[in-house]
Amino acid sequence: MSADRQDPIAAIATAPGRGGVGIVRISSPADLAPLALALCGRALPAREACYVPFRDGAGQPIDHGLALRFPAPHSYTGEHVLELQGHGGPVVLQLLLARCLEAAAQADVAGGRPLLPRLRLARPGEFTERAFLNDKLDLAQAEAVADLIDASTEAAARSAGRSLSGAFSQEIAGLRDALIHLRMLVEATLDFPEEEIDFLQQADAQGQLDRLRARLEAVRQRARQGALLREGITVVIAGQPNAGKSSLLNALAGAELAIVTPIAGTTRDKVTQTIQIEGVPLHVVDTAGLRDSEDEVERIGIARAWDEIARADAVLFLHDLTRRGEAGYEAGDAAIARTMQERLPSRELPVLHVWNKQDAADGAAPEAGIALSARTGDGLEALRRQLLEIAGWQSAPEGLYLARERHLQALRQVDEHLQEADRRLSHGNAALDLLAEELRLAQNALNAITGEFGADELLGVIFSRFCIGK
């Protein structure tokens, strides 16, 4: 552990801005009772909330609030922790934090040494990083802390809570235990080749591997669904001017977010709104109408629309059903379709054709795509169902946990190594050393999810994305 990880740390643990309550948190390998005495003017019993004044250097109260002292190892970080819960004004909290740093540097009466040497401001995520380093949380649980804070939907919050409680980690631990048992059998066969008993056949190694792969696939499926809850997908609404793109965004969002007029080219820049369907966040982007234009501002908006299409996970290609059959209008739609193919030749971008203004159209919509009316709402539910299908969402079972792209990549690596192990196992004893290596690599990939081993660089990236004070 690096030297700075032994330093005491302090930070404001509540969000910036004014609020009813604000918290200053301190974590230290050393006892915090002397610092608590200096700040509160009295000794604090362990794990009891005490209403006290928070005193400045002259003994005058900065604020009054609750002080809680958690001796190690029974704390969030596993170290000694002190929390001062006062009023949530930014100036008050800054004064209180400054006072903590000042008091820590003051000499204690008995020995003349600082009360808490080297107390410094915490880096983003450093409290949770210490919880991980002190075995209070594994890496997947630590990431779930940030996911719970950032959750944008109720389903995401509940799933992050399950990950924080260890549901995802337990699944990984179960896979790892089964994998270790299989490795043990293979290693035994390698270590005792002269034995007459075929360990692998006797213990049904092939059946164990098949069951392990089936179990892994179930975990991967839940992880993919959990990643959708966390990240969502970006859906761009594209089409010619006056097809009703802004009206559709407003209808999906249930609010008047974009300006709607009969004037072509009203939307000059993108308008983005996150909506949720069955708890899945969809980041819907309304863009400028795609056409040839001499207006410089509109041309910039059209260029930005194409940039959004290039970054999208899916596109809603909106058509005006009332203009179906007009040669000029259909030529414009065909030109947009050609440009999509030219600009995105290597991407399998899902494009859903949506026929708007069904309430005002005389003819029927084409069989391909979805017909709807953004004005009346008819057909919107079918569109929502289709968007979920494009996202890859399936009705999630109870116990879904949140997952990250890092977890999905690791699980994909495990699957690849187990596939290769299956091939090696079919070759019999001649390939046992290669089989053992594939199983070892699969276990390493699993271990990376929970952080049983990992590079400091990985930890730095993960915890640097946390907020200060967490």
Write the pLDDT tens digit of every residue in 338-393.
Answer: 998 888 866 678 899 999 998 888 777 777 889 999 889 999 999 999 988 888 78
**Quick one: pLDDT at residue 467?**
73
**177-187 average pLDDT score:** 87
Q: Which residues are annotated as a binding site for GTP?
A: 242-247, 261-267, 286-289, 373-375
Give me the pLDDT at residue 400, please. Answer: 74
As beta bridge partners, residue 282 has 233, 275
Q: Which residue has the tokens 């026929």?
A: 355
Q: Which SS3 state, helix, strand or coil, does residue 80 take?
A: strand
Element (H, E) at 371: strand 370-371
Question: What is the band of 460 on the pLDDT scale with cuts at 50, 70, 90?
Answer: low
Please report, in range form, the residues annotated as the binding site.
Answer: 25, 83, 136, 242-247, 261-267, 286-289, 373-375, 470
Q: How many C-alpha atoms does 197 have within 13 Å on its Cβ side? A: 10
Q: Which residues pair with 54 in a beta bridge?
A: 63
Q: In this structure, what is the dihedral angle of CA atoms 210, 215, 216, 222, given to the nearest 10 degrees? A: 150
Distance of alpha carbon 125 from the chain centroid:
15
Mean pLDDT computed over 311-316: 90
How many Å apart are CA 220 and CA 238, to the nearest integer?
A: 33
Question: What does the pLDDT read at residue 263?
Answer: 47
Does domain 3-138 sit in CATH 2.40.10.120? no
- The reply to whether domains 161-228+404-451 and 232-391 share a CATH topology is no
Distance, CA of 276 to CA of 432 (rounded, Å): 50
Average pLDDT rounded to a whole number, residues 215-243: 88
Q: How far apart are CA 401 and CA 92, in angstroms?
A: 38
Q: Supply 143's token pair.
A: 């990431």
What percentage of the chain has pLDDT greater than the value 90? 44
What is the percent of the chain with per-residue pLDDT over 70, rounded to a whole number?
88
Please, what is the end-to-end C-alpha distance for the chain in angstroms? Answer: 20
Question: In the structure encoding, which two tokens stand for residue 69, read together?
Answer: 């002292």
What is the helix (H) or strand (E) element at residue 169, kind and residue range?
helix 167-191
pLDDT at 175 over 60: yes
Between 122 and 466, whose confidence is greater? 122
Q: How, if at all, do strands 120-121 and 9-12 pair?
A: parallel
User: Which of 49-63, 107-121, 233-247 is predicted least confidently?
Assistant: 107-121
Which residues contribute to the annotated binding site for (6S)-5-formyl-5,6,7,8-tetrahydrofolate? 25, 83, 136, 470
Stretch 318-332: mean pLDDT, rounded? 90
Tokens matching residue 310: 């290039």
The residue ranking higher by pLDDT, 296 or 65, is 65
**CA angle, residues 71, 75, 81, in degrees to nearest 5:** 60
Judged against a pLDDT cut of 90, whether residue 334 lies above it is answered with yes
Q: Which residues are annotated as a binding site for K(+)?
A: 242, 261, 263, 266
d(CA 244, CA 252): 12
Mean pLDDT of all residues belonging to the chain: 85
Q: Which fold has domain 161-228+404-451?
A: Four Helix Bundle (Hemerythrin (Met), subunit A) (1.20.120)
CA-to-CA distance for 270 and 381, rounded, in angstroms? 24
Token pair belonging to 25: 């948190």
Q: Could you give the CA distance from residue 253 to residue 245 in angstroms, rounded to a whole number?
A: 12
Q: Residue 258: pLDDT band by 50, 70, 90 thresholds?
A: very low
Q: Which residue would you say has higher pLDDT here, 217 or 462? A: 217
User: Which residues touch 351 (CB under 8 Å, ≥6 apart)?
Assistant: 314, 315, 317, 340
Residues annotated in a binding site for Mg(2+): 246, 267
Give the pLDDT score at 396: 55
**Phi, psi (rounded to 5 degrees) for 236:** -105, 130
User: Is the model's pLDDT at 279 over the cut of 70?
Assistant: yes
What is the rounded CA–CA span in Å between residue 423 and residue 425? 5
Please state whether 350 falls in left (phi above 0), alpha (psi between -120 and 50) or beta.
beta
> What would the pLDDT profile of 188-211 be if each residue is shown by its tens digit?
777 666 554 466 777 788 899 999
Starting at the edge strand found earlier in the chain, the sheet holding 50-55 runs 50-55, 61-70, 80-88, 19-28, 9-12, 120-121
Distance CA 316, CA 156 (A): 25
Strand boundaries in 287-350, DSSP class E:
314-320
Would you give the DSSP letter of residue 279? T
- Residue 301 structure tokens: 């908006």
Residue found under tokens 């993960």? 462
Fold that domain 232-391 belongs to in CATH: Rossmann fold (3.40.50)
Count how many residues are written for the chain.
Answer: 470
Which residue(s) pair with 82 in the sheet? 26, 69
- Domain residue ranges in the chain: 3-138, 161-228+404-451, 232-391
User: Is the omega angle on the peptide bond into residue 73 within 30 degrees of 0, that is, cis?
Assistant: yes
pLDDT band with cut points at 50, 70 and 90 for residue 12 = very high
Torsion angle of the four alpha carbons 142, 147, 150, 154, in this order, in degrees rounded to the nearest 10? -140
Q: What is the pLDDT of residue 399?
A: 61
Q: What digits encode the pLDDT tens for the residues 80-126?
A: 999 999 999 999 999 999 999 999 998 776 666 888 999 999 999 99
Q: What pLDDT sits at residue 165?
A: 87
